[in-house]
Structure 1
């Protein structure tokens, strides 16, 4: 398997695993309530920019978690890949996420992210269906 194939496979496997864990934990937290609007995002910087990205994302995640409509906002960094971050977010609905996307905090961080990212931010949007 080539290095690129391996990286793509590992990336897909990691994202799939995070999705499964997040949906399982979110349903347990909500005691069977799977309502909400879920987002999983991947934000990646080259290793040499990992600290710069971390310095931007950690305070941003703390602020985002306190916004109206945010039920959960978790920022994670892949252990073996410094500079590769994932978020798991649970919003009351799409309108709450849309409001978040229009905050001054997001308008401030986006231009700072562009020069340090290795690739564009990717996001997956989900609706909860079941939980155990």
Structure 2
């Protein structure tokens, strides 16, 4: 990890009746995003004690790579429909180095 690296966790809280559909939407992102330029890690998880809460652990080479991801066709397709599946909007927590 360099000083320019951007690391984050993006939480998605599924509507109970939409959990499986959200999981399918997120699986598309998890499959396609790692091949994007500047993507160093892009891992989909769910909370062990609450499988309706999904999160991505992401690490990008720099802010420009993350911005490019946010503007990608795959991400924009998800972003346009996300609230159909979510109880509340995506929560992003940026991580710092220790």
Same fold flag (TM > 0.5): yes
Higher RCO structure (Cα 8 Å, ≥6 apart): 2
Structural RMSD (CA)? 1.2
Aligned residues: 96
Moved over 6 A (4+): none
Q: Alpha-carbon deviation of 1:83?
A: 1.9
Q: Note the alpha carbon deviations across 1:4-44, whole angstroms, 9 max, x for none.
A: xxxxxxxxxxxxxxxxxxxxxxxxxxxxxx32110111001
> Structure 1 regions of 5+ residues with no counterpart?
1-33
- Give the distance between the partners of 1:80 and 1:45, measured in 2 at CA: 14
Which structure features the higher share of strand residues? 2
- In structure 1, what is the equivalent of residue 94 of structure 2? 125
- In structure 1, what is the equivalent of residue 7 of structure 2? 38
Q: Alpha-carbon deviation of 1:89?
A: 0.4
> Structure 2 regions of 5+ residues with no counterpart?
none
- Give the distance between the partners of 2:35 and 2:78, measured in 1 at CA: 17
Q: Alpha-carbon deviation of 1:57?
A: 0.2
TM-score relative to the length of structure 2: 0.89
Q: Is 1:108 matched with 2:77?
A: yes
Larger Rg: 1
